[in-house]
Structures are given as C-alpha cells and as structure tokens.
C-alpha cells in the first residue's frame, strides 16, 4: 500500500474513532446513571437509617446486624431456596418430558403443541396470578370442586393458598406451568441440533428409546440445561409478582409462609419506610445473584462437542 | 337611644368580623385558569365520590380545574414519601396520616396554618386527635384529615342472614353476645365442617382489635413501655384477648381458612366481618344485590368496660404539595377551604348514593355537628352509621405510640402469629412471646 493510501485511511479512521468514542461515552454515562450510581447509592443506604426525606442518620452495620437476627429474613431466604430447588428441578423435568413428546410429532401437530405450551408465556403474570387465585379459592374454587368431585377429598382440606404448608407450593405450581412453554421450546431447539446419525447408530446397536434419551439426548442438552438452570435460579431469587398478587393482604401470608426476599425488601423499605434495611436485604440478594451469575458464566465457558 | 344604637352597631361589626374570621383567611381566586393534579386512592367508591364532588367545586371556582389521578393503595403508599423526596408528587395528595408516623411534616407539605387559617380556627373545623400526625413541632398543621375507614370499629353483616338466624344486631352489646350470635349464624356441612362461618376476621383488623382489647383491659402501659421501647405481650390481658379470638376457631364459628374475607364475605361464606364501616359501602358498591349493615365493636371483656378503638388508626388526609406557589397554591387552598367550610357538599355524597360509596367516621367536626342536628326524615341508614361511628368511635380512639408502621406491626408480625395460633402451629404463649421479642427488637432499632 502506498504512503498516500495509508494517509487517506488514517484520515478516514479519525471521524469513525470519534464517533465510536461518542457512542461509548453516551453508553457509559447512561450505565453510570442507571446502573453504577444507584448501586453505589444503595450500598451507602445500607449504612443509614433513613426515610429519604425527613430522617437520615449513619448507623454503621446496624442494618446488617438486625437482618441476621430477623426471623422473617431467614424465613424468606429459606423460601427462596425452596422455590429455587422446586422450580429448577421440577421445571426442567416437566419441560424435558414435554419436549421429548413434542419432538416425536411432525408438521402441523408439532406447531400446534408448541403454540399451546407457549401460550401462557405471553400472558401477563398479573392476569395469570389473578385467575389462578380464583381457581385456588378454598371450598368453592374450581380446583376444590374438581379435586373433591374426582377423589372425594373433603373440600375443607383443600385450602390451597390459605394453608401455611400449601400456599408457596401452589404458587410454584402456577409459576412452573406458566413457563413450561419457554423451557420446552429451548429444549426442542436443542434436540433439533442433535444429529440424526447418532440416533440411527444407537438404533442399529439395539438401544431402546429410553436408553437413547438418557445416553444421547440428555448429555447433548447440557448447554440448554445449564442455561435454564441458571436463568430459573436467578428468577427464583427474584420472584415477586405471583407472590404479591396471589397472597393478597397481607402479602407473604398466611403467617409469612410465602414471604420471600424481594417482598421482605419491598415491605421493609416502602411500607416500613426503612430504606436502609431494605437496601441491606437487596445487597444480600445481590451477593446471591452474583454467585449464580458466576456459575452461569462458568457453565457457558465449557465446550460441548458432538 | 343613640348610645344603644352605637353599641348594637359595634356588636354587629364584631359579630361580622368574627364570622369572617371563622371562615379563615381570604384566599384569592386564581387570576388565570390552573389545573391541579390530585392523587387519590383507587377504590371505586372513593373515586366516584371525588368525581361527583369535583364539578361542585369547579362550579364555585371556575378558574380551578382538578385532574383526579387514581392510584392503587399499594402504589400510593410506596411512592408517597419517595415522590416528595424526588419532587415529582402531585399538587394535591390523598394519604393516611399513619404513614407520617414520627416524621417532620414541615419538610413534606405546604402548611395549612397559618396559610389557610389560624391553628385555633382550624381546630373548630377538624377534631383534634386526627391532627396529631399532621402537626409539626411548631404547632402548625400540614394536612386536612377528613375521614377514617375506622378499621376494626365493628362488623359488617348480612342483614338477611341475621334475620334467618334470628339474631338482632342491636342486641349484640358484648363479646359474649358476639360469641352467641356467631354460633347461631354458623352453618355446618353434614360432616360437621363449617359451610358458612358465623364470623370472619380480616387480616389487619383482627390484629388491630387484639391491641384494642388489650387496651380495653387497661394494659396500655404494660403493653408498650415507651421509656424502654419494650413491647410485652406476655401479660394476662394479651393472653385473654388472643384466647378470645381462638375461641371462635375452637368452637367452630370461624374458619380461618375460608379464603380472602373480601371475597368470602360477599359470597356469604361468612355472616359478619370484622372491619371498618367503609366496607358497607365497599361491599354494596361491588355487590349491589347485597344488603349489609354495620354493628359497632362491643367493649371488652364485658359490656360495662370502657371502649377503646384505633390502637392503630389511619385518617384519610389531604395534603398540598410544598412546591405549590401562586395561583396553583391558591387553587389548592380553596379546595381545602371548601371541604372544611361547606362539608355537607362533600360528605353527603357517599352516604346518600345508592348504593353508598363509603361509610365511616368523619373527622370534619362541622359536618358531624350538622349531621347530628339533621331531622330523622333526612337522615338515611348510612349517614346514621357514619354518625354513630364518629360519635362513639372517635372519642374511643387511643392510638399506641409506636414507631413501627402498621404494615410491619400488624401484617408482618401480629397477624401472622395470630394465624399460627388459629392453625394450631403455635401456643398462645409462644405467639405472644414472639410478638414481644420481635417488636421490641424493631422498636429499639427504630429508636436508635
């Protein structure tokens, strides 16, 4: 390349670099304003006793000290862990089963099944929660009537959201049902990627369909499994809407049996006007979520080959 | 004669000056048209009430236009203080005085005294107890408390179910009467389980009433020691109160798992519901086919004891944004003045609608005085309920001096423990101990 040509290229690059810098700066400013600054402000709040306007006092680590002796915090943390375990395991198992069944169908049937399973995903969580609350209504709700009619269970025992032992489970069932479609679609996409030759070879070797599933499909769906496990773990820690919507007044009831970290944080900050304490809870959530994101990154860094 | 005429003239002028004084300061009409945003709690009756009132006000003050913005309760509560901190609150705000517990209100709102009228004049229009949380250290008043839903003031009940069971609401004068009535009103399935509860307790009101019942036994100071910020529920009075609630569960007149009371009650899964009188309007607005009425809370433990209500009470209050200036401020002050000086235009709306939009205790003294003098033929059942709730209920209010906000005190601590007792998951003593420990810890932290 001649010297003139190089000079021309340099001249051309200059405005491009300025443009990139400008765009990067805008993004950086935006990210600082909506990401970094609120995060730092939140950390600062955790050391304060404040209602944001009439009172603002430095109290050191008191909010954290209080949190670790707060029984509702521990209850909420346990509920999140329980939610995570049930949501991830049951969610993955049910979606895998549905994906494996739909995978066997062809043409229009497959499209119809996929659409049917996907429909709840595009429905508003608020609307879904309200409908399921009515379905779960004790004694006179649809579920109570159907279960009582089919299995002869006394309607008095079918308390669903009104039982301290059953309320969280009922919410999880709804949440699992709602997102089954998206998980199923992800697994279906993963199954489509698996070369048919692997199944053909296994078939020729006399492997049963079950053996093929556990020997070929499942191991080769590891990236999808890792992705779904990570995303739904994060969702389980952040769960809020269905609990707030389905447990009515007081949210998190009955007897705090559905209290989760986000709800406890919200109630403490905005209802209790203890913004410092609410921020401290959010920091613990951040640490947990950060750990889960790290796990997710590690899972994605692995290489799968077939 | 001339002397007498002069004396009469002076007296007349004085009287005129006094009457003008009692109307407060002369707030000028805005010179140009102003539009005021008003955040109001989004409950159907309340919104319809204010929608009816706005044209009445705007007709009198054509240069003021009110833009009503309904906000759901949870959002209103959550954004109330943060929005003021951000400076993006509405011009006029509806909120509950309880949200301002322990706050310096002078940093939040426009002062209504002496801007609108003097403190002394203000108290001629509004009862003094509701002014507690909206009065700053300098004695100036920063909000206009107009009403209270009067939670746990008594029971909403189905008239037809009472009639069928042969229960007279007027005869319920004690908690023993309530127990007897709830037994008569309960309907059972063939297997002995409850088909319809004789009585229902809402979430917050059961906890509120528990505190009231402890106070009614004279144990206010034992319950909360303000000097040491210590709560003590492990006292006989608290045990007696909680055991009374448990009686309804043990004797199968209350099914604590009968669902959200706001759905169970209108569906007649319960015959009466512990709540504020506001629920009469709430139920009949949403379910026009129902006929419900209200009976006041009896004293505890006997009919002869002193009635105490409102251990935790909230007054629906109107505030003017501290950012208001000039014509906008005048417009807001005119609205407040209208509500105070012509309260019947405002307060009659909910009681005389069919179905009523709202029923409850009214904090506007002038209106209550006027209502008390109203001839029987111009007084309907709901105005009468409001009058009773105000006259009997407001003097009985004895709010606890806690720093803990209602949602935490009632919804996160006391009520969940009551539920644990109802479900047999905790003994009465254990639940009371938990309440004492938890609330003491939080009270001390808030006192830091």
> Are the beta carbons of B92 and B64 closer than 8 angstroms?
no
Mean pLDDT computed over every residue of chain B:
91
Q: How far apart are CA A147 and CA A139, in angstroms?
A: 10
Q: Which residues of B touch A254 (CB under 8 A)?
A: 416, 419, 423
Higher pLDDT pick, B341 / A107: B341
Give the model confidence (pLDDT) of B114-145 as tens digits. Answer: 999 999 999 999 999 899 999 999 899 999 99
CATH of domain B30-149+313-394: 3.40.190.10
**Alpha helix segments (H runs only) across B342-447:** 343-351, 365-372, 381-388, 406, 415-422, 428-446
Q: Write down the pTM of the prediction.
A: 0.84
Q: What would the mean pLDDT of B100-116 be, rounded to a whole number?
A: 91
**At residue B17, does pLDDT exceed 50?**
no
Q: Which of B155, B156, B154, B159 is nearest to B291 (CA)?
A: B159
Measured between its terminal Cα atoms, the distance across chain A in Å is 44
Identify the residue with better confidence: B275 or A250.
B275
Task: Tell whether A15 lies on the interface with B, counting CB pairs under 8 A.
Answer: no
The domain segmentation of chain A, as residue ranges, is 12-62, 72-301
Q: Is A99 exposed, middle or buried (0-12, 13-18, 19+ CB in 10 A)?
A: buried
Q: Report CA-CA distances (Å) from A73 to A64, A167, A235.
A: 11, 18, 18
pLDDT of residue B295: 93
Please name every residue paired with B37 in a beta bridge, in sequence order, or none if there are none: B67
pLDDT exceeds cutoff 90 at B191? no
Taking only the tens place, the pLDDT of each residue in B428-442 is 999 999 999 999 999
- CA torsion A99→A104→A107→A110, rounded to 10°? -30
Q: Which CATH number fits the domain A72-301, given the four candidates 1.20.140.10, 1.10.3720.10, 1.20.120.640, 3.40.50.670? A: 1.10.3720.10
Cβ-defined contact of A250 to B415 (cutoff 8 Å): yes
Please enumerate in sequence order all residues whose Cβ is within 8 A of that of A185, keeping only pairs 6 or more positions apart, or say none.
A114, A117, A118
* CATH placement of domain B154-312+402-446: 3.40.190.10
Domains B30-149+313-394 and B154-312+402-446 share a fold: yes
CB-count exposure of residue A10 (10 Å: 0-12, 13-18, 19+): exposed
Closest CB to B258 among A52, A139, A250:
A139
- The predicted pLDDT at position B4 comes to 58
Q: What is the mean pLDDT of residues B235-254?
A: 97
Interchain pair A59, B448: CB under 8 A: yes
SS3 of residue B65 by DSSP: strand
User: Which whole-number Å values give the CA distances from A109 to A62, A106, A115, A188, A190, in the listed order?
Assistant: 60, 6, 10, 14, 19
What region does A285 belong to: left with phi over 0, alpha with psi -120 to 50, or beta? Answer: alpha
Span B93-110, average pLDDT: 91
What are the two backbone dihedrals, phi and then psi, of residue B195, each rounded to the nearest 5 degrees? Answer: -90, -45
Nearest-CA neighbor of A91 among A167, A175, A217? A175
Q: For B265-283, b where at least 16 C-beta lie within 10 A, e where not — what string?
A: bbbebbbbbbbbbbbbbbb
Per-residue pLDDT at A15 = 62
Nearest to B205 by CA among B386, B435, B415: B415
Size of interface A-B (CB pairs under 8 A): 116
Which residues 149-178 of A are in CB contact (within 8 Å) with B? 154-156, 159, 162-164
> Residues B41-73: pLDDT tens digits?
998 889 999 999 999 999 999 999 999 999 998
Strand-pair partners of B274: B155, B201
Sign of CA dihedral B272, B278, B279, B281: positive
Which residues of chain B does A255 touch, with a Cβ-Cβ cutoff of 8 Å? 416-417, 419-420, 423, 425
pLDDT at B22 over 90: no
Contact B259 A268 (CB under 8 A): no
For residue A269, the distance in angstroms to the closest alpha carbon of chain B comes to 8
The token pair that represents A97 in the structure block = 């089963």
Specify the pairing of strand B34-41 against strand B64-71.
parallel
Flag whether pLDDT at B445 surpasses 90: no
Q: Over its length of 306 residues, how does chain A's per-residue pLDDT go in tens digits?
A: 566 766 666 666 566 688 888 899 999 999 999 999 999 999 999 999 988 888 888 999 999 999 999 999 999 999 999 999 999 999 999 999 999 999 888 888 888 888 888 888 888 999 999 999 999 998 788 999 999 889 888 877 888 998 899 999 999 999 999 999 999 999 999 999 999 899 999 999 998 988 999 999 999 998 899 889 988 999 999 999 999 999 866 789 899 999 999 999 999 998 888 899 999 999 999 999 999 888 877 876 665 555
Residues of chain B with Cβ-Cβ distance to A38 below 8 Å are none
Q: What ipTM goes with this model?
A: 0.80
Is residue B231 over pLDDT 80? yes
Domain residue extents for chain B = 30-149+313-394, 154-312+402-446
Distant-in-sequence, close-in-space partners of A294: CB < 8 Å, separation ≥ 6: none
Candidate from B84, B257, B408 with C-beta closest to A159? B257
User: Which residue in A51, A250, A267 is closest to B103 by CB distance?
Assistant: A51
Among A263, A242, A253, which Cα is nearest to A161's?
A253
């Amino acid at each position: 390349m001649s010297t003139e040509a190089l000079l021309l290229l340099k001249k051309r690059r200059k405005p491009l670099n300025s443009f990139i810098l400008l765009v990067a700066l805008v993004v950086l400013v935006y990210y600082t304003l909506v990401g970094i600054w609120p995060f730092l402000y939140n950390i600062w709040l955790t050391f304060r006793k404040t209602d944001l306007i009439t009172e603002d006092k430095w109290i050191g680590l008191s909010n954290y000290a209080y949190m670790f002796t707060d029984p509702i915090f521990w209850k909420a943390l346990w509920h999140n862990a329980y939610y995570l375990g049930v949501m991830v395991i049951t969610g993955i198992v049910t979606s895998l089963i549905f994906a494996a069944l739909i995978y066997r169908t062809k043409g229009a049937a497959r499209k119809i099944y996929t659409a049917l399973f996907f429909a709840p995903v595009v429905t508003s969580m608020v609307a879904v929660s309200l409908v399921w609350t009515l379905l779960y209504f004790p004694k006179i709700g649809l579920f109570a009537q159907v279960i009582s009619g089919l299995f002869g269970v006394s309607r008095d025992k079918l308390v669903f959201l009104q039982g301290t032992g059953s309320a969280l489970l009922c919410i999880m069932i709804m949440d699992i049902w709602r997102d089954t479609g998206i998980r199923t679609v992800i697994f279906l996409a993963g199954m489509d990627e698996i070369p048919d030759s692997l199944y053909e070879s296994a078939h020729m070797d006399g492997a049963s369909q079950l053996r093929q599933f556990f020997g070929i499909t499942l191991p080769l769906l590891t990236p999808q499994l890792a992705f779904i496990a990570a995303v739904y773990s994060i969702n389980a820690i952040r769960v809020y809407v269905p609990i707030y919507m389905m447990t009515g007044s007081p949210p998190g009831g009955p007897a705090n049996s559905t209290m989760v970290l986000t709800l406890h944080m919200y109630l403490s900050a905005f209802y209790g006007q203890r913004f410092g304490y609410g921020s401290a809870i959010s920091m613990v959530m951040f640490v947990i979520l950060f750990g889960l994101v790290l796990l997710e990154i590690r899972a994605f860094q692995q290489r799968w080959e077939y | 004669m001339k002397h007498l005429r002069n004396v009469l003239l002076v007296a007349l002028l004085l009287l005129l000056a006094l009457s003008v004084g009692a109307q407060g300061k002369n707030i000028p009409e805005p010179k140009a048209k102003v539009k005021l945003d008003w955040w109001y709690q989004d409950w159907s009756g309340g919104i319809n009430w204010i929608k009816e009132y706005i044209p009445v006000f705007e007709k009198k003050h054509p240069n003021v236009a009110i833009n009503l913005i309904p906000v759901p309760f949870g959002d209103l509560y959550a954004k109330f203080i943060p929005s003021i901190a951000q400076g993006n609150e509405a011009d006029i705000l509806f909120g509950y005085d309880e949200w301002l517990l322990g706050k310096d209100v002078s940093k939040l709102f426009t002062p209504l005294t002496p801007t609108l009228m003097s403190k002394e004049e203000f108290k001629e229009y509004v009862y003094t107890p509701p002014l507690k949380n909206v009065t700053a250290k300098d004695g100036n008043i920063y909000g206009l408390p107009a009403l209270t839903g009067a939670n746990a003031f008594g029971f909403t009940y189905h008239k037809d179910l009472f009639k069928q069971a042969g229960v007279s609401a007027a005869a319920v004068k004690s908690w023993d009467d309530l127990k007897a009535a709830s037994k008569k009103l309960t309907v059972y399935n063939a297997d002995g389980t409850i088909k319809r509860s004789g009585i229902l307790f809402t979430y917050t009101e059961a906890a509120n009433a528990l505190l009231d019942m402890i106070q009614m036994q004279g144990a206010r100071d034992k319950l909360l020691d303000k000097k040491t910020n210590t709560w003590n529920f492990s006292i006989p009075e608290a045990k007696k109160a909680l055991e009374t609630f448990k009686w309804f569960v043990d004797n199968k007149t209350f099914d604590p798992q009968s669902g959200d009371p706001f759905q169970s009650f209108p569906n007649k899964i319960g015959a009466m519901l512990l709540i504020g009188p506001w629920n009469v309007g709430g139920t009949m607005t949403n379910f026009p086919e129902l006929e419900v009425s209200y009976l006041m809370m009896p004293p505890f433990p006997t009919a002869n004891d002193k009635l105490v209500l409102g251990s935790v009470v909230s007054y629906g209050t109107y505030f003017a944004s501290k950012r208001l200036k000039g014509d906008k401020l005048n417009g807001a002050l005119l609205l407040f003045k209208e509500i105070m000086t012509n309260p019947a235009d405002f307060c009659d709306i909910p009681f005389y609608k069919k179905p009523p939009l709202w029923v409850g205790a009214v904090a506007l003294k002038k209106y209550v005085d006027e209502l008390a003098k109203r001839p029987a033929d111009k007084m309907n059942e709901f105005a009468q309920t409001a009058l009773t709730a105000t006259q009997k209920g407001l003097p009985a209010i004895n709010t606890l001096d806690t720093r803990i906000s209602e949602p935490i005190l009632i919804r996160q601590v006391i009520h969940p423990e009551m539920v644990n007792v109802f479900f047999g998951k905790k003994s009465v003593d254990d639940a009371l101990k938990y309440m004492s420990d938890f609330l003491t810890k939080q009270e001390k932290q808030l006192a830091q």
